[in-house]
Structure 1
Amino acid sequence: MSAPATTGYQTLTEETVVKIIEPLRFFTGEGELRVKEIGDGNLNLVFHLTEPASGKSLIVKQALPYAKVVGESWPLSLDRARIESEALKKAAEFVPDLVPKVLYSNAELAVTVMEDLSDHTILRKGLIAGNQYPKLAEHVGTFLAQTLFHTSDFYLHPFAKKALVQSFINPDLCKITEDLVFTDPFFDHETNDFPDELRPDAEALWGDQELKREVAQLKLAFLTRAEVLVHGDLHSGSIFVTGESTKMIDPEFAYYGPAGFDHGHFFANLALSALSHNYHTKEPGARSDYQEWLFSVIRDTWHHFAEQFSELWKNKGTETYTKVPGTLNDFLQQTWTDAIGFAGCEIIRRTIGLAHVADLDSIEDQGVQIELKRRALRLGSSLIKRRNQLPDVESFIAALKGGI
């Protein structure tokens, strides 16, 4: 499909986005298009376009040249739109049913047009409401196994792998992670955001030199280990769900990094959800049942990932050392240990860092919210420092239960 003529970057509006879409002939032309800006994220504009006469609809996402949550004082590269589009296309080579379909992209305008997922729910919203999704663990585990293996040195020719590493160099968004996940929450930094009641807890964390040394190791892994193409921001706000469908969205943070990074973010957000249901679900039996379901998602996600990754390793591994006994187990163990540490960092940064989670922030009882956030800080710190002492998913779940 040929691209419409453009004259350089311009920030789209509900009026001008139509001029970009109409020449692409996604719609029938029967009647007017309805356009609504629906973006509520931190970085981008998002438009929902519908044609009532035909019932067709789609999503248009445009990257802004700055962080929307802060403003023009925080400039960002528009190349993240290309990275997001390419990451979705790469994932679709292996798991087309687990990502939204990219219909069109325009690097000059930093625009990606994709299928409309309005019939899905953002996972975080569903978890806060106490909903269960029976296919979630299988789908996330499959997504991780397929995308991580097929973008690794275990499968790709070294030249192809290095070309992908180069294509997904993502300095601006990696810098956000380097700062907001691995650095600022562990120091008294101006980007941190938390109630005054948490300051003593935050100051205790900032003074924990053992914790800082462990976080330094995790940050170094993020900075230097270009193992696989990771989503880079796989939290419960980046997943759309129904009872039967799961879609991983928003991979604009995609880059080549440690294989356990996405696992850690996903697990951390499930742990924060379990913690928040100490408030959201009032009846003790129902609360315990829901928390157990959340823990089962962590367990089953890891098992689905490990089983599929192992099969891919055995059947499609091309790297010489994939044939050496023990190397698979070594890699999976390193991925698991890293995931626990990354989960701890994510829990802490979502508690006192710049970007929080609604799971905790929506708690109306301020006293309860503060207490649960204190628990989150203790849990995150413990996971980081004890990650080498939690060798499997059952020990990890036991640690979560003890911390929430």
Structure 2
Amino acid sequence: MSKFDSYFLMKTKEVPDYVREKLSFFDQDASLECSEIGDGNLNYVFRVIDPASGKTIIVKQAGEALRISADMHISTDRGRIEAKILGIQELYSPGLVPKVYLYDGTMCAMLMEDMTGHTMMRTGLINHEIYPEFADHVTTFLVNSLLRTTDVVMGHKEKKDLVKSFINPDLCEISEDLVYSEPFIDYNHRNNVFPPNEDFVKKELYEDEALHLEAAKLKFDFMNNAQSLIHGDLHTGSVFINKEHTFIFDPEFAFYGPMGYDIGNVIANMFFAWCNGDATIDDEEEKEEFCSWCLSVIEEVVDLFVEKYSQVYDEYATEIMAKVPGFKEWYLEGILSDTAGMAGLESIRRIVGMANVIDITTISDEKKRSRAEKIVITLAKNYIMNRKSFCCGADYRKAIKEAVDKFES
């Protein structure tokens, strides 16, 4: 009998023994050290290291309750979902996700590659680091992991089996509440609104019924459009990166949903980085360099996605009706519309919702933070209300300029 034969939440002192029992990764006589490194809301993440050899491994265990709220309980099956999708993403986008060595369904724990030499992207962006390869890497990941798991490419029975395998009701419910509903109608009274902007939020979000209608349409699309195997939470905290390489990880919200959900998340989070740089960098030359790069990434994410989409579609499409002239273009129009809508939803929920984003909350100057939030909300509403008009990167750059100019200080 092993103490790991039934589920319990591990402490740091127990993790090295767990690794030794499950994998022959370290030498048997290695003196292992362990630290908890996770800062997320759902899981416990440990790094185990052998100081003598320098070898490291990550253990990620799913807890039964959210760290931000002990009253919110979710299924630990999300660990299985995460391990499985990482394997699929590695198949379609090799080298852009960490390798999974083992998933243990009893302990709801995954043993995986340590992304050494990389920094969490959100941390790097708050330090105003520039990552020149990110737009290229992330669009390669998006096109391949998304388009190649749709009915356009996959056999329909294989795809339906994956839809069944990735049913993820607990985490989808979190997204349905925190992304699509509560930022507009605060019925659970969990929103975090910056006090100087309370009146602005009330008028622009809580009282805008036309906006509520569009958010409702997008919510029902999220709940019913099993288009593609999406990451489901692709923000800059789900990316580990350096100047040359990108890892995308943490896909525990994965399920079959609209492709634009992931793409729009990336766009929104890059604009949060722009807001932080614009508000906190004193040196004008440095500010111009960093903020211009953020805008170029937003533009390139859209344009490179469109370019790579066409290439991957032509190479891998198998469905006979997907090859009908004009269908590829029609299908892309829907993806791009969903992308803009999702960029707006993610933008709004990170400003007023339960899970604010530190790119904004760490802006210490109250007036600058207030301005940044108003810009984000104004831009987001444009994305949502006019989502069918966002067809290329230049459309995003134009909308951003209009929103920024409206609150020019």
TM range (shorter): over 0.9
Are the equivalent residues in 2 in contact too, given 1:151–1:229 (CA < 8 A)?
yes
1:325-372 deviations in Å (ceiling 9; x for gaps): 111111111111110111001110000101111111111112221221
Separation (CA, whole Å) in 2 of partners of 1:46 and 1:315? 38
Are the equivalent residues in 2 in contact too, given 1:30–1:54 (CA < 8 A)?
no
SS at match of 2:95: helix
Determine the structure 2 residue equivalent to 1:358: 358
1:124-168 deviations in Å (ceiling 9; x for gaps): 111111111111011100001111122110111110000000000
**Greater shift in the superposed pair: 391-400 or 252-261:** 391-400
Letter in 1 for 2:402: G
Determine the structure 2 residue equivalent to 1:201: 200
User: Does the C-alpha gap of structure 1 residues 286 and 66 become closer, same or farther in structure 2, counting only changes over 3 Å?
Assistant: same
**Greater shift in the superposed pair: 175-184 or 147-156:** 147-156
The 5 A counterparts of 1:3-402 are 6-23=4-21, 24-71=23-70, 73-189=71-187, 190-204=189-203, 205-402=205-402
Kindly report structure 1 stretches of 4+ aligned residues shifted beyond 4 Å.
none
Shift of 1:5: 7.4
Are the equivalent residues in 2 in contact too, given 1:214–1:385 (CA < 8 A)?
yes
Shift of 1:268: 0.3
Q: Normalising by structure 1, what TM-score?
A: 0.96
SS at match of 1:119: coil
Report the identity percentage: 36
Separation (CA, whole Å) in 2 of partners of 1:305 and 1:392? 10
Are the equivalent residues in 1 in contact too, given 2:336–2:390 (CA < 8 A)?
no
Letter in 1 for 2:105: A
SS at match of 2:49: strand
Separation (CA, whole Å) in 1 of partners of 2:36 and 2:10? 10
User: Does the C-alpha gap of structure 1 residues 310 and 4 become closer, same or farther in structure 2, counting only changes over 3 Å?
Assistant: farther
**Greater shift in the superposed pair: 288-297 or 229-238:** 288-297
SS at match of 1:237: helix
Shift of 1:192: 0.3
Are the equivalent residues in 2 in contact too, given 1:28–1:54 (CA < 8 A)?
no
Are the equivalent residues in 2 in contact too, given 1:30–1:53 (CA < 8 A)?
no
Aligned residues: 401
**Greater shift in the superposed pair: 208-217 or 30-39:** 30-39
Q: Normalising by structure 2, what TM-score?
A: 0.95
Separation (CA, whole Å) in 2 of partners of 1:323 and 1:380? 34
Letter in 1 for 2:249: I
Separation (CA, whole Å) in 2 of partners of 1:402 and 1:286? 23
- Structure 1: segments with no counterpart, 5+ residues: none
- Structure 2: segments with no counterpart, 5+ residues: 405-409
RMSD (Å) for aligned C-alpha atoms: 1.5
Separation (CA, whole Å) in 1 of partners of 2:2 and 2:383? 50
Separation (CA, whole Å) in 1 of partners of 2:261 and 2:30? 46
Are the equivalent residues in 1 in contact too, given 2:233–2:262 (CA < 8 A)?
yes
1:20-43 deviations in Å (ceiling 9; x for gaps): 111211101343100011111111
